[in-house]
Structure formats: structure tokens, C-alpha cells
Amino acid sequence: MTKQVIALGGVVMALLLGGLTGCEKSQKTAENAQKNKQFGVAAEETVFDGCYTIDKDTPATIKISQQNGGYVMQMKEPKGSQAIWDNPEKLEVLPLAQGWQYFSTNSIDLSSADAAGDVIARADKMLILLQTRQASANTNPMLDSRYVVSLMGAVNTIYQVPCDDTPVDLINNFHKNSQKG
């Protein structure tokens, strides 16, 4: 009988400890969610590493990667240059509350609630990039990409495409694309 009580006590203790661990985990998750909400951190992770173009049918013209704990951006050099990509330029990470000002007026029916998190920007603020939430990209007919760019004040979608080292004739490609519409 004593062995049964000890065994039963062990099972009860294991269940209690397991339950407490589960409560601790769910309490920790709730605390993290509250902190995220308090500090404006989005539930979705933003991913900026990759290559981008303003026309999804053209090669990449912008490359964003991580370097020394931050983001850097490179632009493709014009066709005929010795290098394919220019020198990396450091980008700033802006909290959404600060970065949203560059997207607040737009023709793609975007609101700050559509943003997945922080935005990244060139130091001169001529190019600012944000990633939208997956749900926003799925439900907003004006979005056909999860990425949106404010380029010299104009807001539009930008496409993440495979990175490549294909030289591009930026001037001719721009004129061809602007004559499509």
C-alpha cells in the first residue's frame, strides 16, 4: 500500500509539474505577446534579405542583405560597368510608428495595420521598404506583392525576385516598361 501511495504521489507530482510547466509556457507566451503589442512589434517576422525589382518580369535591380548586424542595399550598375552591383550602402531600421509617415498617403489602399513590422530605409529616405502581412497581401486587390516601397515619395508594390548577376540596361528597361501601360 505504501508503494502504491508513493507511486500515485509521483504520478500526481509529475502531472502537477507538467501542468505548471505548461502554464508557465502559456503565461510566457501571453507576456511576450503583450510586450510585442506594447512595443509595436508585429507577430509576423519581417524578412528583407533578397533581391527586388519594380517590374516582376525583369531581373533584380536592388539587393538587400545583412551585414554587421544590420541591412545593406546594393543597386545594379548600368550595363557595361565592370561591377554588377555597387558598393553596399547601410540601411536604417525604422519602427513602424516612425516609418509609416512615408506610406501614409498611397494609392494602394494600405494602412499601417497592413505592415508586418519595422521598415528599412536609405539614410536619405529616398527609398523606404516595408513588408505587408500575408493576410493583407491576400485580401487587398491593390497588392500583388508582400513588399511595398516608397521611392522618392511614390508608394507602390515592389517584387522580391531571385538574385542574379545579369547585367541590365536600366535606362532602356525603364523606357520599355513605362511604355507598356
pLDDT, block means (10 residues), the chain with 181 residues: 39 34 38 44 73 90 94 92 94 95 92 94 96 93 94 93 85 52 48
Q: Is the pTM of this model over 0.75?
A: no
- The parent domain of residue 71 ranges over 50-159
Residue 142 forms part of a structural domain: yes
Structure confidence at residue 9 (pLDDT) = 37
Structure confidence at residue 45 (pLDDT) = 74
Structure confidence at residue 3 (pLDDT) = 43
Task: Fill in the amino acid letter for 38.
Answer: Q
Measure the CA–CA gap between 152 and 75, rounded to whole angstroms.
15
Residue 14 forms part of a structural domain: no
Residue 30 forms part of a structural domain: no
Structure confidence at residue 24 (pLDDT) = 38
Residue 104 forms part of a structural domain: yes
Structure confidence at residue 46 (pLDDT) = 78
How many beta carbons lie within 10 A of that of residue 170, not counting itself?
15
CB hemisphere CA count around 132 (13 angstroms) = 26
Helix (H) or strand (E) holding 11: helix 2-38
| Residues forming a β-bridge with 90 | 72
Measure the CA–CA gap between 34 and 114, rounded to whole angstroms.
19
Domain count across the chain? 1
Residue 92 forms part of a structural domain: yes
Structure confidence at residue 79 (pLDDT) = 84
Residue 175 forms part of a structural domain: no
Residue 31 forms part of a structural domain: no
How many beta carbons lie within 10 A of that of residue 50, not counting itself?
15
Residue 86 forms part of a structural domain: yes
Residues 147 and 129: beta-carbon distance below 8 Å: yes
Structure confidence at residue 43 (pLDDT) = 52
- Dig out the grid coordinates for 36 from the structure: 510585442
